[in-house]
Amino acid sequence: MAQGDRGFVAGEIDRLWQSGESTQSRALAIAIHIEDAFDVVLPEATLTDGTLHTRTGIDALLVRYGAR
Amino acid sequence: MCGICGCYEASEPADPELIQRMLGALRHRGPDGSGYYRDESVTLGHTRLAIIDAAGGVQPMTGEDGRVWVAFNGEIFNYVEIRTELISRGHAFRTRSDTEVIVHAWEEWGAECFRRFNGQWALAIWDRRTRELTLCRDRYGIHPLFYAFAGRRLVFGSEVKALFCDDAVARRLDPVGLDELLTFWAVVPPRTLFDGVRQVEPGTFVTVTGSGVSTRSYWSPTFPQRGREQSQDIVENAERLRDAVIASTRLRFRRSDVPVGAYLSGGIDSAVTAALVARFAANDVQTYSLRFADPEYDEGEYQRTMSDVLHTSHHEVVVGERDIADALPDAIWHAESGLLRSAAVPMFLLSELVHRSGHRVVVTGEGADEVLAGYDLFREDKVRRFAARNAASATRAGAVEALYPWLQRSPALAPAFAQSFFALRADPLDPAMSHRPRWGSTAVLKTMLQDGVRIADGDAAADALIARMPSEAARWDPLSRAQWLEIRTLLAGYLLSSQGDRMLMAHSVEGRFPFLDPDVFDLAATFPARQKILGLDEKHLLKRAFSDLVPTDILRRPKQPYRAPDAAGSLLESEPDWLHVVASSATVESDGIFTPDVVARLLEKCRRTAGKGLGNTDSMRLMAVVTIQLVNELFVTNWRRPSAEPPQPMAVFGNHRSKD
């Protein structure tokens, strides 16, 4: 994905964050979306340590992958 | 919507009785009249369901000089715009029908005209100038078109039964067609279930001359390179999708001289198209729904919610297992194919309801699942890829529970399901990874076939299909490849045919499909795959685009694939006479398709359980045996030519009006 387009993914993640799904389902959907969008494989720890359960953790990932 | 038929033999005019038999066989597709054109080489026939220009649309039709003749089934929805352009280029029109637009478009642009058409069609064009017969089908295969050789004579028609009116056309099942049916749930065009009978592939045209037959593609589904999609803005993409679907539905609503109704399934797709039809309609809109007596399958609550919101005059048919069992032989007569599920049969009963209500055109949501990624299979592929990235991760493997929450409530079933789900070949480099689980579970049915008809290479059908995938598909998103496979197999081979056109036309009803519009399709193809399924939310862009028109209850309900009750219980309970004929040991033995012992054991098991509690595989096995045996009975071993007369009035054109 072009660098200039990465910001759009942040908006998509916002949408998933506000989806009203359970915490687990939402975290999974966000993990799948981040991996799809940025062609990355999230470390196992990121999937299990609660990073995807908090807005702060997700924002940090978006910064890491150039979407913020 | 109509039926077309005809034949070509370079130096031999066809027998008028043959074309009249073919017209009679297609009477249900066009009961309002018929006509044929005949000259020294070609006969074109047509049965008419009058929808546009009832007075002026008699076919076959020609232009001012009689050099180009057309027999046409379908609609060119943008014919008004093309007509205006053709008039500006000097063409003179005698009617306001879309058929005459085809004549002049062919004169002006030749085969390039097909790219300009926005519509659904199967047509035959005889160009006397070049002595070429052209058979063409729309991009997606909405309308059927078959052909076969009877010696040196090529015969063609909207349905295979018209071809079989020519006694010289061989009638036997094709083992490769059987293999495809028992892999993909559908025979993939250009093949059919009948040996030697071909269908024009969607998006192609076939040219027939004295020197042979050739096929050319004018359209095929394509997708952008992953990561290079034009627009990454999800808000803008949803707005553009909304505009395109509104324009497409408007076109399909306005281009009709008869009232246009709408199907309501209870899901999002038909809710959107019905809501748009209701917006355009000046008068009361008629909506039609299929309900099931079995609450497990019934979506009546959501259908009524939508009809209440839209204030439509709503019609329902309630279908039980016994209704499906009773209608099965008629449905197979029209489908001309075996079925692995009973879901086509209720659609036959729904179109009967539309017909009885006095209507002949309905708009439906068909195609949205393929174009905008609605199927569970697409979501499953995302989860399997997610899991495959680290096979040791329990978190990744557990993602399947997000797709199917019932697994959490059934811990005893979960390990077995997860094992079957993930144990299958999950090679991310496999272009058909998305479809392997389905194909693998279906292929078990092939073990019932006798050696003489079973293709030895179990992967032959899949390999042949994958070989036809365009080379650039390697750079598409995996979802795009899955969409391509779904469009090439189930959409054309089953949903638009066995469950679509054939069930609709059995009762002279035309279906129109706003999601199968080239502008909608081409636009949707440009969207990033991740926006079509956002996380695991299928058809996300569609939901976002029409959140104001569809009630939240429908918008947020989990995807409910259209399913019908299996008819096995009722079939075996009522034991209709035809079942004794087609599934008896003697018939199975003499037909030589299925292994008699295997069929006997399957039937015994079904009888023992009265069809209740049959597993998914046994249900498919039973449907496959019963319906394929029915096809063989109806079209091969006990073929009886339809005795219906051609619809009247009948118009006859050409310079060979009587037998020479």
Query: Chain B interface, mutation test: which of A3, A6, A9, A12, most B Cβ atoms within 10 Å?
Result: A12
CA-based nearest distance A21→chain B, Å: 10
Residue of B nearest to A29 (CA): B535
Cβ of residue B395 closer than 8 Å to a chain A Cβ:
yes
Two tokens at B94? Answer: 């005698």
pLDDT, residue B50, reads 82
Alpha helix segments (H runs only) across B474-517: 478-486, 502-505
Asked if residue B541 lies in contact with residue B372, where contact means CB atoms within 8 angstroms, the answer is yes
Q: Cβ contacts (< 8 Å) between B235 and chain A: which residues?
A: 11
Among the partner-chain residues B227, B402, B530, the one whose CB lies closest to the CB of A33 is B530
Give the residue-averaged pLDDT of A38-67: 96
DSSP secondary structure string for all residues of B181-232: HHHHSSPPTT--SBTT-EEPPTTEEEEEETTEEEEEES-----PPTT--S--
Query: What is the per-residue pLDDT across B494-524, written as a single tens digit (0 to 9) for each?
Result: 999 999 999 999 999 999 999 999 999 999 9
Cβ of residue A18 closer than 8 Å to a chain B Cβ:
no
Pick from B563, B556, B495: nearest CA to B294: B563
Among the partner-chain residues B386, B395, B531, the one whose CB lies closest to the CB of A35 is B386
Q: Cβ contacts (< 8 Å) between A15 and chain B: which residues?
A: 234, 534
Q: Please state the three-class secondary structure of B428-448 as a single string.
A: CCCCCHHHHHHHHHHHHHHHH
Cα–Cα distance, B591 to B581 (Å, whole number): 11
In the block, which residue shows the tokens 């899991």? B387
Cβ of residue A41 closer than 8 Å to a chain B Cβ:
yes
Please report the sign of the dihedral spanned by the C-alpha atoms of residue B418, residue B424, residue B430, residue B431: negative
Which residue has better confidence, B428 or A51? A51
Cβ of residue B382 closer than 8 Å to a chain A Cβ:
yes
In the block, which residue shows the tokens 């017209």? B23
8-state DSSP, B456: S
How many CB pairs below 8 A link A and B? 60
Pick from B234, B313, B274, B286: nearest CA to B551: B274
Residues 200-239 of B with CB under 8 A from A: 227, 232-235
Among the partner-chain residues B399, B529, B534, the one whose CB lies closest to the CB of A16 is B534
pLDDT, residue B18, reads 95
CA-based nearest distance A60→chain B, Å: 19
pLDDT, residue B422, reads 61
Q: Which residues of chain B, if any, have pLDDT below 50?
A: 657-660
The answer to whether B396 contacts A47, with C-beta atoms less than 8 Å apart, is yes
For residue B93, give Cα distances in angstroms to A39, B52, B103. 56, 15, 10
The answer to whether A44 contacts B530, with C-beta atoms less than 8 Å apart, is no
Asked if residue B23 lies in contact with residue B34, where contact means CB atoms within 8 angstroms, the answer is yes
pLDDT, residue B420, reads 63
In the block, which residue shows the tokens 């991760």? B393
Cβ of residue B252 closer than 8 Å to a chain A Cβ:
no
Q: Cβ contacts (< 8 Å) between A29 and chain B: which residues?
A: 402, 534-537
pTM, entire model: 0.95
pLDDT, residue B406, reads 66
pLDDT, residue B432, reads 96
DSSP secondary structure string for all residues of B630-645: HHHIIIIIT-----PP
Asked if residue B606 lies in contact with residue B568, where contact means CB atoms within 8 angstroms, the answer is yes
Q: Which strands sit side by side in the sheet containing B361-363, from one edge to the other?
A: B313-319, B286-292, B261-263, B361-363, B510-512
Among the partner-chain residues A8, A30, A47, the one whose CB lies closest to the CB of B233 is A8
Pick from B443, B440, B454: nearest CA to B595: B454
Q: How far is CA B266 from the centre of its chain?
A: 20
CA-based nearest distance A19→chain B, Å: 10
Among the partner-chain residues A8, A19, A30, the one whose CB lies closest to the CB of B232 is A8
Cβ of residue A49 closer than 8 Å to a chain B Cβ:
no
pLDDT, residue A4, reads 82
pLDDT, residue B64, reads 82
Query: What is the per-residue pLDDT across B426-439, written as a single tens digit (0 to 9) for each?
Result: 788 999 999 998 99
pLDDT, residue B329, reads 95
